[in-house]
Amino acid sequence: MIIGDRLRVLREAKNLSQGHIEGRTGLLRCYISRVENGYTVPSLENLEKMARALEVPLYQLFHDGKEALKLPKFPKRKSANGDLWGSYGKDARRLSGLRRLLGRLDASDRKILMSLAQKMKAKKP
């Protein structure tokens, strides 16, 4: 499925013109046309604007089923005393600091860090 086709189908199902979408999103009509015809790939921010303008949840731009997809249940990491790790105290401060520092990395540093982590994972004792 091409996202532009899905946007057009949803727009036409709601009886809206590209001009209506332009008015609701602030995106230019020519941009909307280019997206619908597959010449431009919209950013996530613009997809969110279009979903709001079409009055549909964002997932419906990618999934044409009636119900939202079910997310898998991931196990939660617990500390020795049964609390979720990083939820408070010293661990929470460390986790917050790590998140802040990782957010500052540029793409090349992030790639190096991920490569290092993968190599460490592969060398389990």
Q: What percent of the chain has pLDDT over 70?
A: 82
End-to-end CA distance of the chain: 44
In this predicted structure, what is the pLDDT of residue 121?
79
Phi and psi at 78, nearest 5°, equal -115, 150
In a domain? residue 99 = no
User: Could you tell me the sign of the dihedral formed by the alpha carbons of 58, 63, 65, 67, in that order?
Assistant: negative
Instruction: Indicate whether 109 pLDDT > 60.
Output: yes
Question: Which range marks the domain in which residue 51 is found?
Answer: 3-61
Residue 114 lies inside a defined structural domain of this protein: no
pLDDT tens, position by position, 78-87: 666 666 767 7
The answer, as to whether pTM is greater than 0.75, is no
Mean pLDDT of 15-43: 92
Bridge partner residues of 84 (DSSP): 78
Cα gap 7→21, rounded to integer Å: 11
Looking at the 3D structure of the chain, how many domains does it have?
1
79 falls within a domain: no
- The domain that holds 32 is classified in CATH as 1.10.260.40
Q: What is the pLDDT of residue 100?
A: 85
Instruction: Note the pLDDT tens digit of each residue in 35-94.
Output: 999 898 999 899 999 999 999 888 888 877 766 667 677 666 666 666 676 777 787 888
95 in any annotated domain: no
- The three-state secondary structure class of 114 is helix
Return the half-sphere exposure (C-beta side, CA atoms, 13 A cut-off) of residue 59: 7
Q: What is the pLDDT of residue 119?
A: 84
State how far the Cα of 50 lies from the Cα of 24, in Å rounded to an integer: 8
